[in-house]
A = this chain, B = another copy of it.
Amino acid sequence: MAITGVLRPGHAQLRVLDLDESVHFYTNVLGLKETGRDKAGRVYFKCWDERDHNSFIIRKSDKAGLDCFSFKVQNKKVLDQYESDLKNYGVVTEKIPAGEMLETGERIRFKIPTGHTIEIYSEKTSVGNGLSDFNPEAWVPDLKGIAPLRMDHALIYGGDIDGARKLFEEVFGFVLVERVKMEDGKTDLATWLTCSNKAHDIAMVRHSEDDKLHHVSFLLESWEQVLRAADIMTMNRVPIDIGPTRHGVTRGTTIYFFDPSGNRLETFCGGYQWYPDMNPITWTWDEVGRGIFYHDRKLNEAFLSVIT
């Protein structure tokens, strides 16, 4: 089979400071669809074109940030194999029983060397994308807000991004697509990894503090939708970090913006189709600005410092 193992980023869980304000934001501004709430206080969302019950979860906390980032794998057999592989790799795993999260099967939870909590799972109830499997229309009308197609990827900050990359590569078969080198020309400042044809499924930046989130990204369909997203952000006075602009890395177009708790989000569009026979792309330290923000050609102050 051509697509095996890890299928895609499955769900991200974020901490927010005010649940009602956040639900309003994620529902009406970002335009996700709320699909449920559980006794633990978690609110579940999905993007319109996703089939699975949820891809984004928030819970109230006194500190913003990322609880965990989770990948859906091919099937239960693959899940069990990965659990075993993780153990053999020396990673401590925790089994979270099916049903602990709404409409979600058993999850294997573990920490990667950057301190982030990652989960894998193989089952999440399909609730459909609002279009029939028979003679569907091209899209769902009357969506609210920005209405991204999918939760696309995350960019995480932590210390040992080499170790984290090695784990994703060796256990899960992720591949390095692009990287930014530090001033020494050797050390990676940042790496972008894929488990699919996409230019990235997860990315990491080296940082003094572990377990930090730079952003969770949502997929838009066109550059015009990126403009529309920026307009909607302004209409709702959502703080925009930067954009609309293009990344040099992945070539994708982008807006970085913040949820009401200060968690950075991204609306992302494009990026090339990646194949395993492509060479990784390397950005040198003196060109990191253009690599991250292709038009401004310099990092803004927030890029390396504002994280949750």
What is A's interface to B at a CB cutoff of 8 Å?
Answer: 1-8, 49, 51-52, 72, 74, 126, 133-139, 141-142, 144, 149-150, 172-175, 194-198, 219, 221-224, 227, 230-235, 237, 240, 243-246, 248, 251, 253, 255, 270, 272-273, 275-284, 287, 290-291, 294-297
Q: Are A290 and B234 in contact (CB under 8 A)?
A: yes
Q: What B residues does A133 contact at CB under 8 A?
A: 279-282
Residue of B nearest to A51 (CB): B278
Bound CA span A214–B245, Å: 23
* Given A196-B3, A224-B223, A231-B246, A134 contacting B49 (CB threshold 8 A): no
Residue contact A246 to B2, C-beta cutoff 8 Å? no
Q: Are A136 and B279 in contact (CB under 8 A)?
A: no
Task: Given the known inter-chain contacts A234-B290, A295-B233, please indicate yes or no for A4 contacting B1, CB distance below 8 A.
Answer: yes
Chain B residues near A134: list those with CB within 8 A. Answer: 281-284
Q: How far is the CA of A275 from the CA of B230 in the complex (A)?
A: 28
Q: Which residues of B contact A280 (CB under 8 A)?
A: 133
Pick from B2, B149, B223: contact of A227, CB below 8 A. B223
Closest to A123 in B: B277
What is the minimal beta-carbon distance from A46 to any residue of chain B, in angstroms? Answer: 14
A74 to B276, Cβ gap below 8 A? yes
Residue in B5, B136, B141, B232 whose beta carbon sits within 8 Å of that of A281 in the complex: B136
Closest chain B residue to A135, Cβ basis: B287
> Of the candidates B222, B273, B281, B290, which one forms a contact with A223 in the assembled complex, judged by CB atoms under 8 Å apart?
B222
Give the contacting residue for A295; candidates B7, B198, B234, B282; CB below 8 A.
B234
Q: What residues on B are CB-neighbors of A137 within 8 Å?
A: 231, 234-235, 248
Instruction: Known A135-B287, A223-B224, A280-B133; judge A245-B246 contact (CB<8 A).
Output: no
Query: Given known contacts A8-B275, A134-B282, is B295 in contact with A2 (CB within 8 Å)?
Result: no
From residue A170, how far is it (CB to closest CB) to chain B in Å?
A: 11
With contacts A134-B282, A197-B196 known, is A7 near B74, CB below 8 A? no
